[in-house]
Chains A and B, each alone.
Chain A
Amino acid sequence: MDVVMPQLGETVREGTISAWRKQVGDPVGPDEPLFEVETDKVTVDVPAPAAGVLVEILVPVGERVEVGTRLAVIRVPGEAMFAMRGPGARVVTLSSARPTVPAMPVAIAEASPALDPPRTTGRITMPAIPTAIARAVGAELRLSPVVKRLIAEHHIDDPSVIPGTGAEGRITRDDVLAYVESRGAASGGGEPPAESLVPMSRIRQLTAEHMVRSLATSPHVLQAVEVDFHAVERLRGAAGEAFRAREGFSLSYLPFVARAVCQAIPEFPHVNASVRGDALVVHHRVHLGIAVDLDRQGLVVPVVKGAAGKTVRALAVEIHRLADRARRGQLAPDDLTEGTYTISNSGPFGTLITAPIIHQPQVAILSTDGVRKRPVVIERPAADGSAGGETSAGGETSAGGETSAGGETIDAIEIRPVGVLAQCFDHRAFDGAYSAAFLRRVREILEQANFEAELT
């Protein structure tokens, strides 16, 4: 039976074989993990399609293949002959339900170093066979609760380095303790090491590769605007509590920024695009990527599909759902594909400004940084003789914005929640004026904040 590259998601066309869980010659149970596939940042264990023996691996680890590619061959019992490889190998029949006991072990013994016959008799007993099979399929790494706990406590990354003395080579509690002691003895117990080696996780390696490639591909230009979140803050104040009670999480600035970006994109469509050769592919739908930090163990960018049609509330709910799934490691491969524009949100950490790196093949990325209360000079209509009075509702303009129409204005200092929106764009795609105009539009939308109707 052929094993083929499965369709892991609607939009996933190819994947990389990152590990084979079985070796050629290994028995494979039904639904037992057979190999691991990586698509961007999601790793999936793929089970065997049938029980049998893995007789051939056609695609080595590290190779990227399209959906449907033949990857391996499983010989299903009763189907055909099964040939062990190696010097002196003989053909062994696994087709009958009860193999002839004397013949089979001898043949396997000659073929497989895993089956050492006892020196005294040279005869392999029946119990030796399941033991050897168990060893071959990695049963020695079936770890007891206390062993798992000790391995975690002593930061042993690869437990297979611990010599197992238990039944079938199982690692026992005492084996871990002995290993820890020997490791301590080997390091001499003297000076603490001046440095330590932290191997990069798979997601770290992927991120590293992507960042280098993005900077090498796109000439990045950073532009930033300062936004007065006063109006947004008033909406959050008015609707936030009800929102939290209804949705179960609080209403942050992020969905407002996402909404403003979606509203501004139709006027500046080239922001929502990618470069293909000498052309700019302008996407007519907005699939908004949201960078999510995985408890500082990595970064993923799940995508809000069809973001342009969503209200602030819908965006908030979808961003919350994706971030939650990301942190639980439950994102599907489809959740990470098709992004057309990305928002990176460092705001909760109180950053001033961040220059993000473009998520290829997109052409722009926006960072939302910390919002803090600051004294802001605003221009206000000079109301006859009552300059120091209450701020009039609705009449605000931002410090940098256009003066309100008509009449005298006076400068006043107010305390406003202010934050920076910083966009890096690919200068191949458009120029600074285009990007700046887009940012100005986003700022206007946020400062007007006509979102009351979108919060319920």
Chain B
Amino acid sequence: MAELTYREAVAAGIAQEMARDDRVVMLGEDIADAGGVFKTTVGLLERFGPRRVRDTPISEQAIVGAAMGAAMTGLIPIAEIMFSDFFAVCWDMIANEIAKARYMTAGQMALPLVIRTANGAGSRFGAQHSQSVENWAMAIPGLKVVAPATPADVKGLMAAAVRDPDPVIFFEHKGLFATKGEVPDGEHVDRLGTARVLRQGSDVTLVALAAMVPRALDAAERLDREHRISATVVDVRSLVPLDTQTILAEVTRTGRMYTVEENPRLCGWGAELVSIVAEERFYDLDGPIIRITTPHVPLPAADALEDHAVPTVARIVDTVVRTAG
């Protein structure tokens, strides 16, 4: 085991796959010479050369279009969209072309590509560079959607995404890049569509994703220590495919579910989980299902306001204490 930062784990995951398979290539803005604006691709140009690690012009549509073409002609591209907010200019290519290709060619053409992106708030980048848009991606049939919370999961899920025969949207969280964690040595490949139970409690189940996972864990500690409320924490990890078995089992054990979501409230990913739980485990619920989310607002740039908008440990604790009885 080696301790890596979340951003180092991104490069480690990509490097593992590029070393394994010559067809894996990278393209994106400032990923080569600069090593990525978030330093997530440092060292890849030096190791794999300019033919496989390519800087592109500032055109997100060109990046995803080129990635689609590369995938159609036999490569396994990893495209980077610098900020996930910029998916907004890419949706025609991603939603109408990439996501539909396998279906519309009756399976004759698969697109084994990965679109990586930096998602989420915490860096005071304002309304156009801080959004959590995982729920946008989740709403499109034909895409797989992953959002890891730890360096180990970044590496393992990156490998799984590259090896998946279909397009995978890979959300890296800007607020987690500096965090550290143990990553298994040697080849590390995880599985898409698997949630992880990080902590088991008996009173409530907190279901979280990406940057909300460490906050949910901190909240669970405080709930235990200060309020004698015993909380389970589930890291969803993969929104599509979704590990409903694990989530339903953990909600059933406590009878209470709280989602902790960074995306804005309306149609956030937790709403989908709530509907699944309500439909399939209604008779195991011991109280209302409650969503803790960013409100339905554009994110502010001011630090105090941004901190106020996104769910905090204190807000998670308060919400659970107020409603768990």
Question: Is A147 in contact with B325, judged by CB distance below 8 angstroms?
Answer: no
Question: Is A146 in contact with B285, judged by CB distance below 8 angstroms?
Answer: yes
B282 to chain A, nearest CB (A): 5
How many angstroms from the CA of A348 to the CA of B9 in the assembled complex?
75
A132 to chain B, nearest CB (A): 16
A360 to chain B, nearest CB (A): 44
Contact (A144, B325) CB under 8 Å given A149-B283, A172-B286, A173-B286:
no
- Residue B182 at the A interface, CB < 8 A? no
Question: Is A146 in contact with B286, judged by CB distance below 8 angstroms?
Answer: yes
How many angstroms from the CA of A146 to the CA of B281 in the assembled complex?
9
Of A146, A148, A167, A168, the residue contacting B255 (CB under 8 A) is A146
Interface of A is mostly: helix
Find the B residue at minimum CB distance from A168: B325
Question: Is A167 in contact with B283, judged by CB distance below 8 angstroms?
Answer: no
B100 to chain A, nearest CB (A): 40
Interface residues of A in 145-168 (CB under 8 A from B): 145-149, 166-168
Contacts of B141 in A (CB 8 A): none
How many angstroms from the CA of A172 to the CA of B229 in the assembled complex?
14
- Residue B33 at the A interface, CB < 8 A? no
Q: Mark A137-148, 1 if CB is under 8 A from B, else 0.
A: 000000011111
Find the B residue at minimum CB distance from A170: B325
Contacts of B325 in A (CB 8 A): 166-168, 170, 172
How many angstroms from the CA of A172 to the CA of B287 in the assembled complex?
8
- Residue B218 at the A interface, CB < 8 A? no
- Residue B164 at the A interface, CB < 8 A? no
State which size class the interface on B falls in.
Answer: under 10
A367 to chain B, nearest CB (A): 42
Find the A residue at minimum CB distance from B252: A146
How many angstroms from the CA of A168 to the CA of B284 in the assembled complex?
21
Contacts of A172 in B (CB 8 A): 286-287, 325
Contacts of A147 in B (CB 8 A): 286
Contacts of A167 in B (CB 8 A): 323, 325
Interface size on A, residues (CB 8 A): 12
Q: Mark B284-325, 1 if CB is under 8 A from A, else 0.
A: 111100000000000000000000000000000000000101
B157 to chain A, nearest CB (A): 34
How many angstroms from the CA of A145 to the CA of B325 in the assembled complex?
15
How many angstroms from the CA of A391 to the CA of B312 in the assembled complex?
91
Contacts of A173 in B (CB 8 A): 255, 286
How many angstroms from the CA of A190 to the CA of B104 in the assembled complex?
68
Contacts of A149 in B (CB 8 A): 283-284
How many angstroms from the CA of A168 to the CA of B323 in the assembled complex?
11
Q: Which of B282, B286, B287 has the most CB of A within 10 A?
A: B286
A165 to chain B, nearest CB (A): 8
Contacts of A168 in B (CB 8 A): 325
How many angstroms from the CA of A147 to the CA of B256 in the assembled complex?
12
How many angstroms from the CA of A172 to the CA of B255 in the assembled complex?
10
How many angstroms from the CA of A145 to the CA of B285 in the assembled complex?
6
Contacts of B283 in A (CB 8 A): 145-146, 148-149
How many angstroms from the CA of A146 to the CA of B284 in the assembled complex?
4
Q: Mark B258-288, 1 if CB is under 8 A from A, else 0.
A: 0000000000000000000000001111110
Contacts of A166 in B (CB 8 A): 287, 325
How many angstroms from the CA of A168 to the CA of B285 in the assembled complex?
18
Q: Which of B284, B285, B287 has the most CB of A within 10 A?
A: B287
How many angstroms from the CA of A172 to the CA of B284 in the assembled complex?
11
Contacts of B282 in A (CB 8 A): 145
Q: Mark A162-201, 1 if CB is under 8 A from B, else 0.
A: 0000111010110000000000000000000000000000
How many angstroms from the CA of A94 to the CA of B66 in the assembled complex?
72
Find the B residue at minimum CB distance from A172: B286
Find the A residue at minimum CB distance from B284: A146
Contacts of A144 in B (CB 8 A): 255, 285-287
Find the A residue at minimum CB distance from B278: A145
How many angstroms from the CA of A146 to the CA of B282 in the assembled complex?
8
Interface residues of A in 105-138 (CB under 8 A from B): none
Find the A residue at minimum CB distance from B322: A167
How many angstroms from the CA of A145 to the CA of B286 in the assembled complex?
6
How many angstroms from the CA of A144 to the CA of B286 in the assembled complex?
5
How many angstroms from the CA of A170 to the CA of B286 in the assembled complex?
10
B220 to chain A, nearest CB (A): 18
Find the B residue at minimum CB distance from A166: B325
Contacts of A148 in B (CB 8 A): 283
B65 to chain A, nearest CB (A): 49
How many angstroms from the CA of A167 to the CA of B325 in the assembled complex?
4
How many angstroms from the CA of A147 to the CA of B323 in the assembled complex?
17
A159 to chain B, nearest CB (A): 14
Find the B residue at minimum CB distance from A152: B283
Contacts of B286 in A (CB 8 A): 144-147, 172-173
Q: Mark A65-80, 1 if CB is under 8 A from B, else 0.
A: 0000000000000000
How many angstroms from the CA of A146 to the CA of B286 in the assembled complex?
5
A168 to chain B, nearest CB (A): 8
Q: Which of A145, A148, A168 has the most CB of B within 10 A?
A: A145
B242 to chain A, nearest CB (A): 23
Interface residues of B in 194-230 (CB under 8 A from A): none
How many angstroms from the CA of A236 to the CA of B255 in the assembled complex?
55
Contacts of B284 in A (CB 8 A): 145-146, 149
Find the B residue at minimum CB distance from A169: B325
B254 to chain A, nearest CB (A): 9
Would you give 25 A-B contacts (Cβ < 8 Å), ordered by A?
A: A144-B255, A144-B285, A144-B286, A144-B287, A145-B282, A145-B283, A145-B284, A145-B285, A145-B286, A146-B255, A146-B283, A146-B284, A146-B285, A147-B286, A148-B283, A149-B283, A166-B325, A167-B323, A167-B325, A168-B325, A172-B286, A172-B287, A172-B325, A173-B255, A173-B286
Binding site for B on A (CB under 8 A): 144-149, 166-168, 170, 172-173
The 8 closest A-B pairs by CB, nearest first: A167-B325, A173-B286, A166-B325, A149-B283, A144-B286, A146-B286, A173-B255, A145-B285
Binding site for A on B (CB under 8 A): 255, 282-287, 323, 325
- Please name 19 further chain A to chain B contacts, defined as beta carbons within 8 Å, in addition to the given A144-B286, A172-B286, A173-B286, sorted by A numbering: A144-B255, A144-B285, A145-B282, A145-B284, A146-B255, A146-B283, A146-B284, A146-B286, A147-B286, A148-B283, A149-B283, A149-B284, A166-B287, A167-B325, A168-B325, A170-B325, A172-B287, A172-B325, A173-B255
